[in-house]
Structure 1
Amino acid sequence: MLQDAWFTVQAIDSHTYAISEYGHWEKVHSFLPITIITTHAHTDHIGSHGEFDTILVHPQDEAWLVHGITGLSIEQIRRDIGRDLTLTPPASFNPDSYTPYQGKPTGLLNDGQQLDLGARTLTIYHTPGHSPGHICVFDQPSGYLFTGDLLYDETPVYAFYPSTDPAALVQSLDRITRIAGVSRIFGSHNTLGLAPDILQEVTLAVSQLRERDLVRHGTGIHTFKGFSLQF
């Protein structure tokens, strides 16, 4: 594990690395290929996009990447990105003057698309709900499922903003439980690497939420074993 004042680089295996920001309240994880695969275009997931030549995103999040998220002010973005820091940010980053990346992607990602990286092939799953163009990425040879902001632990998965869709998010959760061969789940926040048996809990959660008519905005936080959702 390599560590500096802000970024922690951890080897998941011999050819997979996570770059983590544990000093930020959202404990954001990025997973390294040189090509940028955008799970979704929220501010905390596109911070260094401008440093790379190849940026991919799902078509339904393309407008956010190009123009910013409609209705989200720069003042709110700066408040969110700069609050509750427990480590000193890099010298190049000032939360008070931070401006999110905006630009046209070099390519678009579609459901079922496969990306050949040479030693591995990644499969794209369109999993909307947290954002319209949210995706998950499955590395079949290793069994790693990168879930972005669809599934992680410790803090709630958000689906209460006007731009979110609780029903689509629950449908997306249901979908990832049906992916065969998952050996490890890597969400974009909090614990780095979750055991695949959390998908059994997701199956139960999906069933309970639907049966109790809770899959809609305003029903609050729903806590399950290992994760929670906020509608």
Structure 2
Amino acid sequence: MSTLKPVCESWFATEKINDWLYLISEPHYYWWNRANLWLIKGQKQDLLIDTGLGVSSLRQHIASLIDKPLLAIASHIHFDHAGGMHEFDHRAIHAAEAKALETGDDHEALCTAEQGWVLEEHFEQLPHADFTVTQYTLHAAEPTQVLKEGDVLDLGDRAFEVLHLPGHSPGCIGLYDAKSQDLFSGDVVYDGELLDQLHCSHIPTYIQTYERLQRLPVDTVYPGHYSIFGRSRYQQITVEYLEAKRKPGCPAEQRL
């Protein structure tokens, strides 16, 4: 006999990192695949980097923190990052994955039953009483802004450059503030097991991305999973990945 899981009082948790940044998480979901959702408060615009699973209203949860126009950005199409995009009026994703978001492509989002990424045991508590894993899907949401390499998102008091960093998936991006050397890295780089053997992954491209990242001056990484880390750990992660994946004699050359 299966044990009925409790319904949580609040699906989301919010941590204020500093005066301009909030970290939002889904604490009742499996920690290994639990995404970091970053709310950046700007002078004239706010950014929301990733929107989680989409099983509870993130828009309602952050309503009290929003006092200016908000752009929701998917660092890539996977369900744990793009699941809540449909809730927001202004939403952006890289051109390589814009169609998948527009059509609600469960295969590209890794959330079909056959792929086995969305499992009942990953939910410690339920977001609402009638939630079932079998009905989970990526809600179709037409992007209002299609991002490309070199785009600049100007918040008034700081600006982020869009870096196209494929390898984990074709449309992976990072947001980089050259002045502070902050990198919001999505699933491109984080301090944990890097996934590069998904159907949408391509290791030679990931190697090129990491060679590029080695030349990028980074002070702090705000990743798509796990903890914030600094320059030293960033350099260590990129070196270790390249040493493990490169084939001798054929390092790729990629300009920043």
TM-score (ref. length: structure 1): 0.80
Please tell me the residue identity of whatever aligns with 1:6: W
Contact 1:44 1:81 in 2 (8 A): no
1:9-43 C-alpha deviation (Å, 9 max, x unpaired): 11121011111123322121111122111111111
Shift of 1:141: 4.0
User: What corresponds to 1:7 in structure 2?
Assistant: 12
Secondary structure of the corresponding residue to residue 239 of structure 2: helix
Q: How many pairs does the alignment contain?
A: 209
- How far residue 212 of structure 1 moved from its aligned partner, in angstroms, is 4.5
Q: Is residue 90 of structure 1 aligned with residue 121 of structure 2?
A: no
Q: Distance in 2 between matches of 1:86 and 1:35?
A: 28
2:220 maps to what in 1? 184
Number of the residue aligned with 1:194: 229
Alpha-carbon distance between aligned partners in 1 of 2:196 and 2:182, rounded to the nearest angstrom: 24
CA-CA distance at 1:45 after TM superposition: 1.0
The match for 2:102 among 66, 73, 78 is: 66
In the TM superposition, residue 62 of structure 1 has moved relative to its aligned partner by 1.2
Aligned Cα root-mean-square deviation (Å):
2.6
**Out of 117, 121, 139, which is 2:159 matched to?**
121
**Aligned-pair CA distance for 1:70:** 4.6
Q: Provide the rounded CA distance (Å) in 2 between the counterparts of 1:94 and 1:144.
A: 38
Change (3 A) 1:89 1:29: farther
1:144 partner amino acid: D
Q: Kindly name which structure, 1 or 2, has the bigger radius of gyration based on alpha carbons.
A: 2
State yes or no: 1:160 paired with 2:197. Answer: yes
Closer, same or farther: CA 104–213 of 1 in aligned 2, 3 Å = farther
Structure 2: tracts of 5 or more residues without a match: 1-8, 40-46, 48-69, 252-256
Asked if residue 151 in structure 1 is aligned to residue 185 in structure 2, the reply is no
Structure 2 CA distance for aligned equivalents of residues 98 and 208 of structure 1:
36
* Shift of residue 209, structure 1, vs aligned partner: 2.8
Residue type at the aligned position of 1:158:
L
Counterpart in the other structure of 1:53: 89
Check conservation: 2:34, 2:80, Cα contact below 8 A: no
Corresponding residue to 2:245 among 185, 209, 218 = 209
Q: Residues 145 and 185 of structure 1 are in contact (CA less than 8 Å); yes or no, is this contact kept in structure 2?
A: yes
Helix, strand or coil: the match of 2:122?
coil
Structure 2 residue corresponding to 1:171, chosen from 195, 202, 208: 208
TM-score, normalisation: structure 2: 0.73
Equivalent residue number for residue 139 of structure 1 = 177
Classify the secondary structure of the residue corresponding to 2:16: strand
Give the match's secondary structure for 2:135. Answer: coil
Name the counterpart of 1:27: 34
